[in-house]
Structure 1
Amino acid sequence: MSDEGGIGVLVLAGTPIGQAGDAPARLAAELAGADVVAAEDTRRLRRLTADLGVTISGRVVSYFEGNESARTPSLVEALLAGQRVVLVTDAGMPSVSDPGYRLVAAAVEQGVRVTAVPGPSAVLTALAVSGLPVDRFCFEGFLPRKAGERARRLTALAAEERTLVFFEAPHRTEAALAAMAQAWGDDRPAAVCRELTKTHEEVRRGGLRELAEWAAGGVRGEVTIVVAGAPGGPTVANDPESLRSAVAHMEEAGVSRKDAIVEVARAAGVPKREVYNLVHSS
């Protein structure tokens, strides 16, 4: 409970990504003992506490993307008044593609202690079951929704040699995989992990084009995509036809010619002027 006369503590509490039984014992204790529980979805919180057999005695407030900025100051006030604030999101660790970063940053700025209850993570779970290299990886969160911005991001990642992990909405999974295949090659190994730890858990492995064709049949549930990193060296061939084609693909996706030339030159490891000349001489 509250630390009378002193500064409180912010607890980032990881919650199950599927089965309630995966929750650590400490999660129940933190929820029961909190002065304030800030939840991304209070209805999901009620379901979780029912599954855990926990009764929350403190104040429960909503804390989601739409009210993060407005609610953060009042939560910092509670912390400065000595209260213990527990932050939970719908699944996984707060602030990892979920609400939380603003509150953590504001708490740290005020000298508030920030700690965490480690819990299940869709990023690490998908990485572990993907069958792809796990020694070095990077998490890219959600890709941009607009085709042009997505193509620009993927081209910028073309030379990334670490395994890449993405979150994606089920209805955008096919488009994301198709864009990856176009940017990185049809045969780049990948895995689509959906409904991790849940009853209908499924992991599909294969080349990006193959997975895009599978996703065309419809995808349901929470989706995490894991993609093998680029092989060493440039990932866009530097022959004239490949360079022109790469720029054309980006332009078709809505990227300006200027930006496409810059990104393709970087990915191919050639001077920007060389790509410019090739494109404008065709």
Structure 2
Amino acid sequence: MMASCLYIVGTPIGNLEDITLRGIRILKEVDIIAAEDTRQTAKLLNHYDIKKPMISYHEHNKKTKGDEIIGLIFQGKNVALVSDAGMPCVSDPGEDLVRLCVEKGIEVIPIPGPSASLTALSISGLPTSRFVFEGFLPTKGKERKERLERLRKENRTIILYEAPHRLMTTLKDLKEYMGNVNISISRELTKKFEETLRTDLEGAIEEFSNRNIRGEFVLILEGKSPEAIKEDEEKHWKDISIKDHIIMYMDKGLSKKEAVALVAKERGISKKEVYNISIEI
């Protein structure tokens, strides 16, 4: 082991056997384990008879605990960071601790392990050569709409996480913005009630509207084809006037000049024609 460093240790996403031999060794050898939920991590440590002191590190205490962990490393302690499941630092406050270590010149060593996102992607049956990981969507408001608006034009496979109580809302929102694209939905990966449903968004909405929804979900969505994206973009303006088309883009933050140029390009007409109409705005 290298002295005074931070180890990023991947842990099982369900089945406790899904941890590497190296991961077990590192957890046994470090001085302290920083855990998202010490109670959850205790189950893993007890399973492998690992007896090490733990310190909590999560979203709500990451600033104070991050400084404390940095202090321990500078004192010569080796620290292992684990999340409740999977690789730390992915949709996880561990990224802040790693950034802090990098700023302080502390060595950060990854100990690879399971990842719910890649596990679900590998069995989705959807394209895997190009994909984008979005984690959890914003739960409401303008930020959620803006994120969904960007996904509307995404042609890569999309990976999302979702909690059971928000699943139906998210499926319906995705259908509204993405259309009826194909989707693979995995829940409780590597656990007793593991399940993967491969369908389209309409089928997913119908399926889960008749179920008691439980478990943590990974959604794998098929990206839209260039033709579908172009057709979708045209739907935004073909039934509105040129003036409203300009206003639509100005409301999204574009200047009038930028909006005029974009409207002219999309409609295949001259900038002068669009500019003359923009004078009224």
TM-score w.r.t. structure 1 length?
0.82
The higher radius of gyration belongs to: 2
CA deviation map 1:70-113 (0-9, x unaligned): 11111111112222110011001111012201110010111111
Q: CA deviation at 1:66?
A: 0.6
Q: Does 1:168 align with 2:162?
A: yes
Secondary structure class of the residue paired with 2:105: coil
More deviation, 46-55/110-119 = 46-55
Matches within 5 A, 1:260-271: 270=266
Which residue of structure 2 aligns with residue 198 of structure 1?
Answer: 191
Which residue of structure 1 aligns with residue 244 of structure 2?
Answer: none
More deviation, 74-83/13-22 = 74-83
Which residue of structure 2 aligns with residue 54 of structure 1?
Answer: 50
RMSD: 3.0
* Pair 243,144 (structure 1): closer, same or farther in 2 beyond 3 Å: farther
Contact 1:2 1:35 in 2 (8 A): no
CA deviation map 1:128-170 (0-9, x unaligned): 0111000011100100111543232111122211100000111
Provide the C-alpha distance between the structure 2 equivalents of 1:241 and 1:108, rounded to a whole number of angstroms. Answer: 47
> Which residue identity lines up with residue 24 of structure 1 in the other structure?
T
Which residue of structure 1 aligns with residue 223 of structure 2?
Answer: 229
The runs of 4+ residues in structure 1 deviating greater than 4 Å are 239-244
Contact 1:9 1:115 in 2 (8 A): yes
Which residue of structure 1 aligns with residue 21 of structure 2?
Answer: 25
Q: Does 1:185 align with 2:174?
A: no
Which residue of structure 2 aligns with residue 91 of structure 1?
Answer: 85
Which residue of structure 2 aligns with residue 212 of structure 1?
Answer: 205
User: Which ranges of structure 2 fall in alignment gaps of 5 or more residues?
Assistant: 241-248
Q: Does 1:115 align with 2:109?
A: yes
Figure out how many residues of one structure are paired with residues of the other and give that number: 258
Provide the C-alpha distance between the structure 2 equivalents of 1:178 and 1:171, rounded to a whole number of angstroms. Answer: 13
User: Which ranges of structure 1 fall in alignment gaps of 5 or more residues?
Assistant: 245-255
Quick one: which of 148, 151, 157 aligns to 1:154? 148
Q: CA deviation at 1:196?
A: 0.6
> Which residue identity lines up with residue 55 of structure 1 in the other structure?
K
> Which residue identity lines up with residue 144 of structure 1 in the other structure?
P
Quick one: which of 62, 67, 73 aligns to 1:68? 62
Secondary structure class of the residue paired with 2:218: strand
Secondary structure class of the residue paired with 1:20: coil
Contact 1:175 1:212 in 2 (8 A): no
Secondary structure class of the residue paired with 1:105: helix
Q: CA deviation at 1:69?
A: 1.1
Provide the C-alpha distance between the structure 2 equivalents of 1:30 and 1:257, rounded to a whole number of angstroms. Answer: 55
Secondary structure class of the residue paired with 1:200: coil
